[in-house]
Structure 1
Amino acid sequence: MLKHNLGYPRIGVRRELKKACEAYWSNKINSHTLFQVGKNIRKENWKIQEKAGLDLIPCNDFSFYDHVLDMSLLLGVIPESYLSIPVIHNNIDLYFSMARGFQKNEWDIKAMEMTKWFNTNYHYIVPEFSKNHKFSIFSNKIFDELEESKKVLKSIQKIKPVLIGPISYLFLGKEKEKSFHRMDLVENIIPIYIKIIKKLKDEGVNWIQLDEPILVLDMSEKDKKVFKYAYGEISKFCSGINIMLTSYFDGISENISLLQEISVQALHIDLVEDSNQLEKILSFFSKKSKMILSLGLIDGRNIWKNNYAYSINKIEKSIEMIGENRIMIAPNCSLLHVPIDIEYENSIPINIKNRMSFARQKIYELNDLEKIVKGDKSVLLNNIDLLEKSSYIFYDQKIRERANQIKDQDIKRDNPFYIRQEKQKKKFNLPLFPTTTIGSFPQTKEIRNLRKRFRNNELSRDKYDEKIKNFIIDVIQKQEEIDLDVLVHGEFERTDMVEYFSNKLKGILSTENGWVQSYGSRCVKPPIIYGDVTRIEDMTVKWICFAQSKTKKLMKGMLTGPVTILQWSFVRDDQPISHTAYQIAWAIREEVLSLEKNGIQIIQIDEPAIREGLPLKKKDFKSYFDWAIKAFRLSSSGVKDETQIHTHMCYSEFNDIFEHIANMDADVITIETSRSKMELLKAFSIFSYPNEIGPGVYDIHSPRIPTVEEIFDLIEKASKRLPIKNIWINPDCGLKTRKWKEVLQSLHNMTKAAKIARNKFINLS
């Protein structure tokens, strides 16, 4: 029974990669120093996994920005606009320009589109395909890292290069032209995959991992056809090397028949997200006499210790059916989605910490499972004893009862939107194309140091509050100078939009170093929901009301919604997720009502993760939306008609969920659309989305400054798809990660473009 891993976190224990990348982008270090940081992280990761006794260790799972973008560079999927920049002389700058855009002298090229990786909070750069695209081996990264790993691990037999499989890669991209389907490129791309696999084989590689998470989706007949063709060709031309086909994030029962006609040496399945698939998969394997089954047993997306009894049951059932020599064990997915090492946490209560397991600990859990299979029952008994004795749940019966007793009036506004809209327009008297931002403003080094000093008790509460108030006053003045219509307080008191609330709610805790990559150099620290959740006191009212007192303009109250707090946290595993969502929703509702009571007339409840949490199979959509929309409406529906509720959503595909977005019944929704050049709005238009909407006109994930002309062009495009009276003008997302110089100029350009649009469209509204 072999032990292996699908992927390891690449940011470094102290976020070394983030710091190095940002230093490189700021011209503070050169590429040699950047590459050395990457090399050090890779070496450390390989050594950790080797020490843990893994039989197969992943290689090429490291990335400086995004593994899908790495794949695009490897296969030569590079838009011509980036290749034509004469001042870019190396692959790393080409790579970063694709991810972040390029703006220097006369050169001004936007970043490529970015969206969520399946139902996770990880973002990837979307490949762009042209008709008859000619693929080629453009980058040597995978081969260079293979050579590195040989020197570190000494044995080539332990090394397992990882690639996104060809069908998932094509699926994750988009067509630049409408005259073809990207899956039609399969005959062009497969010869390059075969060439890569053969080259790896020539280097002595015994195993290669091809990730095909498309297998867990509702695959179309076209998808299935190209899948069978692709792996038929790979099987035909790549003999002598073991191909491990990996799926994760859900089950593959519906698509298992695709493997009948192809020949791969191993299949990895996710038994954390879908344990019920095992019986059907084993039945299939009983007819495939040689194929190895990899059981994904360790949860790569949550931080609780593995239940060994549960895992051993799956292992023993599999061994009984197909034999121990045909079984592998592994985490269910890459460990990219969990923090690196629990040993760096010193403030978590011991009874909770004892139940937790980060990436490094999860690797060792595989060892424990192997020991149990080999007869060491003491390991199993210790695990059972720990899970029984080490209680990590805070229970409150009143909270639990309230979450289960939600009445219809709790999730409905007093009147429908069209009545509320008239009242709000009369009350606020905002101009056509009102301008606002999503919430946060740049978090400078000065602000981060201020919070650090306060945490370390180097600064009193009064002095800390006074300095935060000064930052708020300053950002209000800046917004008034820019002439934004609806202001925000800047969120300077907040480290992160979820972590901040986790520190204010009972039943949730934050970590010290539990960093997880979200995109590029952006890392987050997901809180840990360990018990029943309740609001103890006001969480935002003091700061929002102070900000409102410093301006005559409208000030938005900024909150994070219940579904996003849930999705961007590590959630307790002892009750239905919907119950936890309702508990959080009641807490947010109390804060909304307190803001309204204290005179705040516009309240934004951000739900950037509501699409992200959507199950991967359509059959599961309804049950998810039943509780997710209910939780949002519970948090937002207690206010008067005149109080305007905003929400915000991040990069997502909305085509199949418009009915549910409309059912949220937010007065205003803001979404990210600038990278897609307003393409997302086509679907909103077809659906006739009834409420107000702010399509993002400024891509905040790139440092480039959009011009007045391009912002106006986006406003014009939006005006052709949506009722003009319903359109707001705003950036794509919060501005926390950007620098002041680019933010101020970009927002100046945004408000200028909005004023030009008002003059042009005033008679059409």
Structure 2
Amino acid sequence: MASHIVGYPRMGPKRELKFALESFWDGKSSAEDLEKVATDLRASIWKQMADAGIKYIPSNTFSYYDQVLDTTAMLGAVPDRYSWTGGEINLSTYFSMARGNATVPAMEMTKWFDTNYHFIVPELAPSTKFSYSSHKAINEYKEAKALGVDTVPVLVGPVSYLLLSKAAKGVEKSFSPLSLLSSILPVYKEVIAELKAAGASWIQFDEPTLVKDLESHQLSAFSAAYAELESALSGLNVLVETYFADVPADSYKTLTSLSSVTAYGFDLERGTKTLELVKSGFPAGKYLFAGVVDGRNIWADDLAASLATLQSLEAVVGKDKLVVSTSCSLMHTAVDLVNETKLDDEIKSWLAFAAQKVVEVNALAKALAGQKDEAYFAANAAALASRRSSPRVTNEEVQKAATALKGSDHRRATTVSARLDAQQKKLNLPVLPTTTIGSFPQTVELRRVRREYKAKKISEEEYTNAIKEEISKVVKIQEELDIDVLVHGEPERNDMVEYFGEQLSGFTFTANGWVQSYGSRCVKPPIIYGDVSRPNPMTVFWSKMAQSMTARPMKGMLTGPVTILNWSFVRNDQPRFETCYQIALAIKKEVEDLEAGGIQVGTVVFVI
């Protein structure tokens, strides 16, 4: 039984790529130095998967910045403002598109579906000329092959690339990037020809837009694209990979009707309806890459449940046509649990980062093939049982409060106009009051103070005085600028989510659980493992201190519950909305304490 990984984190277990990129951008290291770090990371990733027994190992999922930008480079779709004159796209042009330079701005960046990753949006126009301008895919395939690893080259599919693009500035609003499909396919054919010549036997096209509600002409584009590529793909096994959600029935029908496609990859973690579509009808002789191991969270897989799902699919698609896979690329989860030497042992036993998920995938594949590792499965079952029964997961008081919520609790008791009148009587603000969003720049000195306080190198009194001095400066600046509603600048906060998570029960934190957000930017999401409550006030002390420094109203700054939820690794043993309600109730208590402390509820800001 075969195993497959959709994609893998690029940054490295200790953010090696991040530091190499930033050193290169700062002019402290050379392109050769950067490439050495990248080459070593790719080699270690491929070797790790090969050693784990993965059969279908991806290549070309590594990126210096973003996989969609890599595709833009491959197609030579460089906006005119970067003054690219043709040929192989170099790092200077590539990073100018990603980050801008001294004379021109970067390309737009936006969220990759509903993840916290961001991609660089292609800018296209009717006049855009395409040419094969980045040989990254073939180079990385050959690189892996030289190491003795035969990989599956991964490309962003042509239709999804266009559907994720936008019209360039100045182009008629009626222009659709999808109209350029016939113009980009010749480049894809060149790439495919090179990969075939180099010995590739499989190729993976990521077409995640298939999970969207597409119009008929958009679905027709998939049929047209893969029909046009059919001769070029002859002799190759072709996998079309989807992820992040269910594939709608019409899209499923379109996809499974593509004669040039050998295999279909589905997210069966989020795609329960897709699972039913597969069971109700799957094309004979095709491969199913079953994404049963969650690529977006950090919880250990329920191996017994996944094995049962796979066994039910085996009867539908055939034993030799079923491939165990991840639900999506593992780039959306942390890299390796081995590096978490300070994480609580009990909680650690409940988790699986990317490296551990690779092992889970292969263990499931072996179990399907009749080579079940009984000890491994037993340890997994014990960890799941520990999590279910752990008293630290459940807080009866919190659960009762969340269960007691009624429909009326989700609506304000007073009208907007009544609240505005009360606010105006209290604050006497001008018609157009001025304020700022909240945080002021985090200086090197502030970071040093927080770091030393955390390491217990300075006392609590020294820390408080340092933060108080910074708040005083921020208040003075705003008063000099005649700002109406002030903020305290948030000098005590390390991160808008982590700061609150550290003070809420049910949260824990990693030392190296970094996840790429964009480029070299990484975030370390909190882990919500249990019921959430607020043992003590979180912001009241600092808000009251700030308010005492001015006669003007001071805003209480709170990150909203939805943002805290979405920027965390969320427990998967209860519906997300229940966890969100628990966070909201905790924040509600903070609001009540702020109000009791003289900070007006009408000036509390929820960042969502």
1:70 aligns with 2:62: no
- Aligned 1:105-504 pairs, distance under 5 A: 107=103, 109-152=104-147, 154-155=148-149, 158-176=150-168, 177=171, 178-254=173-249, 255-258=251-254, 259-285=256-282, 288-373=283-368, 374-376=370-372, 378=374, 379-390=376-387, 391-392=389-390, 394-425=393-424, 427-428=426-427, 430=429, 434-480=433-479, 484-504=483-503
Determine the C-alpha separation between the residues in 2 that align with 1:79 and 1:433: 40
Determine the C-alpha separation between the residues in 2 that align with 1:193 and 1:503: 48
Amino acid in structure 2 at the alignment position of 1:456? A
- Cα contact 1:301–1:338 (8 A) shared by 2: yes
- Cα contact 1:133–1:188 (8 A) shared by 2: no
Measure how far apart 1:275 and its partner are. Answer: 2.9
In the superposition, the TM-score normalised over structure 1's length comes to 0.74
1:27 aligns with 2:27: yes
Determine the C-alpha separation between the residues in 2 that align with 1:478 and 1:93: 39
- Cα contact 1:372–1:380 (8 A) shared by 2: no
CA distance 1:545–1:33, shift in 2 (3 Å): farther
Amino acid in structure 1 at the alignment position of 2:383? L
**What does residue 741 of structure 1 align with?**
none
**In structure 2, the residue corresponding to 1:555 is in which secondary structure?**
coil
**In structure 2, the residue corresponding to 1:209 is in which secondary structure?**
strand
CA distance 1:18–1:482, shift in 2 (3 Å): farther
1:544 aligns with 2:543: yes
Determine the C-alpha separation between the residues in 1 that align with 2:492 and 2:421: 34
Determine the C-alpha separation between the residues in 1 that align with 2:277 and 2:351: 31
* Residues 268-324 of structure 1: per-residue CA shift (max 9 Å, x gap): 011110234224214432xx3321110001111111111111111122112222222
* Residues 190-226 of structure 1: per-residue CA shift (max 9 Å, x gap): 2211221111111211111110111111111111111
**What does residue 526 of structure 2 align with?**
527
Determine the C-alpha separation between the residues in 1 that align with 2:303 and 2:209: 29
Determine the C-alpha separation between the residues in 1 that align with 2:341 and 2:62: 28
Amino acid in structure 2 at the alignment position of 1:316? Q
* Residues 589-611 of structure 1: per-residue CA shift (max 9 Å, x gap): 1111212222223xxxxxxxxxx
- Aligned 1:88-103 pairs, distance under 5 A: 91-103=90-102
- Cα contact 1:2–1:329 (8 A) shared by 2: yes
Measure how far apart 1:148 and its partner are. Answer: 2.5
Amino acid in structure 1 at the alignment position of 2:223? K
- Cα contact 1:132–1:185 (8 A) shared by 2: no
- Cα contact 2:138–2:191 (8 A) shared by 1: no
Unaligned stretches of 5+ in structure 2?
A: none
Determine the C-alpha separation between the residues in 1 that align with 2:241 and 2:70: 18
**In structure 2, the residue corresponding to 1:556 is in which secondary structure?**
coil
Determine the C-alpha separation between the residues in 2 that align with 1:185 and 1:426: 59
Measure how far apart 1:44 and its partner are. Answer: 2.1
- Cα contact 2:213–2:248 (8 A) shared by 1: no
- Aligned 1:712-751 pairs, distance under 5 A: none
**In structure 2, the residue corresponding to 1:347 is in which secondary structure?**
coil
- Aligned 1:673-752 pairs, distance under 5 A: none
Determine the C-alpha separation between the residues in 2 that align with 1:36 and 1:476: 48
- Cα contact 1:253–1:281 (8 A) shared by 2: no
Measure how far apart 1:132 and its partner are. Answer: 4.3
CA distance 1:444–1:240, shift in 2 (3 Å): farther
**In structure 1, the residue corresponding to 2:510 is in which secondary structure?**
coil
Measure how far apart 1:408 and its partner are. Answer: 4.7
Unaligned stretches of 5+ in structure 1?
A: 602-638, 650-765
* Residues 570-592 of structure 1: per-residue CA shift (max 9 Å, x gap): 11122222111111100001111
* Residues 518-566 of structure 1: per-residue CA shift (max 9 Å, x gap): 1222211111111111101110111222223334444322111111111
Determine the C-alpha separation between the residues in 1 that align with 2:201 and 2:94: 29
Measure how far apart 1:473 and its partner are. Answer: 2.8
**What does residue 592 of structure 2 align with?**
593
Determine the C-alpha separation between the residues in 2 that align with 1:133 and 1:17: 32
**In structure 1, the residue corresponding to 2:512 is in which secondary structure?**
coil
- Cα contact 1:557–1:595 (8 A) shared by 2: yes
Measure how far apart 1:33 and its partner are. Answer: 2.3
* Residues 37-91 of structure 1: per-residue CA shift (max 9 Å, x gap): 22222222222222212112111111222211121122122211122699xx973
- Aligned-residue Cα RMSD (Å) equals 2.4
Q: Which moved more, 1:466-475 or 1:247-256?
A: 466-475
Determine the C-alpha separation between the residues in 1 that align with 2:552 and 2:35: 48
Amino acid in structure 1 at the alignment position of 2:350? R
Determine the C-alpha separation between the residues in 1 that align with 2:541 and 2:603: 20
Query: Percent of counterpart pairs with the same letter?
Result: 44
* Residues 72-115 of structure 1: per-residue CA shift (max 9 Å, x gap): 122122211122699xx973222222222223xxx2x2222221
1:18 aligns with 2:18: yes
CA distance 1:438–1:203, shift in 2 (3 Å): farther
Determine the C-alpha separation between the residues in 1 that align with 2:607 and 2:270: 28
Measure how far apart 1:474 and its partner are. Answer: 3.2
Amino acid in structure 1 at the alignment position of 2:546? A
- Cα contact 2:78–2:84 (8 A) shared by 1: no
Determine the C-alpha separation between the residues in 2 that align with 1:179 and 1:472: 51
Amino acid in structure 2 at the alignment position of 1:490? G
Measure how far apart 1:244 and its partner are. Answer: 0.8
CA distance 1:351–1:96, shift in 2 (3 Å): same
* Residues 14-51 of structure 1: per-residue CA shift (max 9 Å, x gap): 22222222233333333332232222222222222222
* Residues 690-731 of structure 1: per-residue CA shift (max 9 Å, x gap): xxxxxxxxxxxxxxxxxxxxxxxxxxxxxxxxxxxxxxxxxx
Measure how far apart 1:339 and its partner are. Answer: 0.5
- Cα contact 2:21–2:34 (8 A) shared by 1: yes
**What does residue 55 of structure 1 align with?**
55
- Aligned 1:546-625 pairs, distance under 5 A: 546-601=545-600
- Cα contact 2:286–2:317 (8 A) shared by 1: no
Amino acid in structure 2 at the alignment position of 1:29? S
- Cα contact 2:507–2:530 (8 A) shared by 1: yes
- Cα contact 1:300–1:335 (8 A) shared by 2: yes
**In structure 2, the residue corresponding to 1:162 is in which secondary structure?**
strand
**What does residue 735 of structure 1 align with?**
none
Determine the C-alpha separation between the residues in 1 that align with 2:343 and 2:202: 39
CA distance 1:12–1:491, shift in 2 (3 Å): farther
Determine the C-alpha separation between the residues in 2 that align with 1:29 and 1:480: 44
Determine the C-alpha separation between the residues in 2 that align with 1:78 and 1:68: 13
CA distance 1:416–1:215, shift in 2 (3 Å): same
Determine the C-alpha separation between the residues in 2 that align with 1:341 and 1:381: 22
